[in-house]
A and B are shown apart, each in its own frame.
Chain A
Amino acid sequence: MSNYVKRFSAFDRVVHWVLAVAFFVLLFSGLALFAHTFFNYFDFFGGPQQGILAHKIAGIFFLITSVLLFFTQIKDTCRFDADDAKWFGAFGGYLSRSKIDIPQGKFNAGQKLYAIFAIIAATVLGLTGYVIWDPTAMERGLTQWSLMLHGLFFVLIIVGAVIHIYLATIGNPGTAEGMLWGRVRRVWAKKHASKWYKEVTGDSD
């Protein structure tokens, strides 16, 4: 019996990593526009105009991959049950070293919440990004509020990304394997997603 369980298809993984690359292109070009401290990040792109162009192109990739990722995972991310309520009640067990045993589906309640947050953030950033594509093309008030919202969701998504990256790597060893190679270890699946594990393997233990 293989020690591994298949978790993400090659398509899921490629979409996720295109999204991740787009995110970092957006991050560095966006930071250069956001604060004087980071203005020199434009040098990575060959100059400010090129940096802004890169931001726009990466934005299109980011929006498309965000939508793809959300809709391909939607059946596992948008339904919450009683176990999820328990999971939230215990903060996912992240506040203590003692083991908790709350059965979870393919994604735990926190991951579901992050998926929903991510699609909302991507949508808001995409829509406001469209408005400020040319900041003199549309009505001034609309453009000004779009600049503000774009900044707000940028800040929120940065905080989200820090937590996401931590929890998916060193915070939960073994998790990243799923997104890198498509499979996770059985022990990982039993610990983190026992309902999903039973569902895909038929194992009852």
Chain B
Amino acid sequence: MARKAFMIDSSRCTACRSCQVACKQWNKLPADAAINWGSYENPPSLTAHLYNKIEFIEKEQDGKFKWLFLNQRCLHCGEAGCLKVCPSTGALFRTEEGLIGFNKDKCISCKYCVNGCPFDVPRYDAQGKITKCHGCIDRVAAGLQPACVKACPTGSLKFGDRDKLISEAELTGLKLYGDKALSGLGAMYLLEEKPQEYRLAENPNIPQSIFLWKDVIKPLGILGFWGAIGAVMLHYVTVGPKRPDEDDSSNQNQGGEKHE
């Protein structure tokens, strides 16, 4: 099946937050208490009950105040750090549409995914189970749009065939973010400014430490273990054990074979 994706046109976003509300409604998520921290952006970060969120980025341009709005969520990476580190097969999984879902029953609360994610997206709920945007895989499987996309009144959020969304995006003249990164993100952005202005990494990647851990150390570990086993076996049958001098034969308990 052709890969499906979100296309998030930041220039069309009015920060109405219909997407946040629709997500909570569909996924039956309770509200988080807002806090006063000097911004309309609330809650300040994704939570276990908040799978997507509008970031309110405040800018000054030519002496005028300007807002940049960005819908923050799981970006359903083609090469996903969370899937790379998850020890429990099926706790995180990729659907045939390319979205990354989760199964709380299989989650073992190790929190590796939190650290494997290039975008700091996964959160843990009060029961110690993973939560994040799953792209409404249940709706998508039934041929529906994800709840946030369905609710978006400006067309800022789109969902559909990934290749088609990219070719449409190229006509807008805006900067396309995420078409190539991490084997292609499953949620791409159309930006008016540089990615850094939106608190996005210019070249997002699996964290280096996580790459070393899973792609270098782990294979070396397999090699190291079997290498060591092989080496000692080889040593035993070639050089052989170092037996104490055999003049003290009354104390030999090593059987009949003698070296030297």
Instruction: List A residues at the B interface (Cβ < 8 Å).
Output: 3, 32-36, 39, 42, 48-49, 52, 93-97, 99, 134-136, 140-141, 143-145, 147-148, 151-152, 154-156, 158-159, 162-163, 166, 170-174, 185-188, 190-192
Contact = CB atoms under 8 A, between A and B. Distances in A.
B111 A48 contact: no
Contacts of A141: 209
Given A140-B120, A151-B218, A155-B217, 4 more contacts: A52-B109, A143-B115, A148-B210, A171-B236
Given A33-B110, A185-B251, A97 B259 contact: yes
Q: Tell me the interface secondary structure of chain A in the complex.
A: helix
Contact of A171 (B87, B242, B244): B242
A155 B225 CA distance: 8
B228 A163 contact: yes
A163 B248 contact: no
A70 B228 CA distance: 24
B115 A140 contact: yes
A140 to B, nearest CB: 6
B210 A94 contact: no
B235 A151 contact: no
B236 A191 contact: no
Interface residues of B, number: 45
Contacts of A187: 244-248, 251
Nearest to B239: A97
B243 A162 contact: no
Interface in B65-114: 87-89, 108-112, 114
B239 A94 contact: yes
B144 interface: no
A191 B245 contact: yes
28 contacts: A34-B87, A34-B218, A35-B218, A48-B110, A93-B242, A94-B235, A135-B110, A147-B115, A147-B210, A155-B224, A158-B221, A158-B225, A159-B224, A159-B225, A159-B227, A163-B228, A171-B235, A173-B244, A174-B243, A174-B244, A185-B244, A186-B248, A187-B244, A187-B246, A187-B248, A187-B251, A188-B244, A192-B244
A185 B247 CA distance: 12
Interface string B154-169: 0000000000000000
Interface string B215-246: 00110110011011101100110011111111
A155 B220 contact: yes
Contact of A162 (B210, B229, B250): B229
Nearest to A169: B241
A188 B174 CA distance: 79
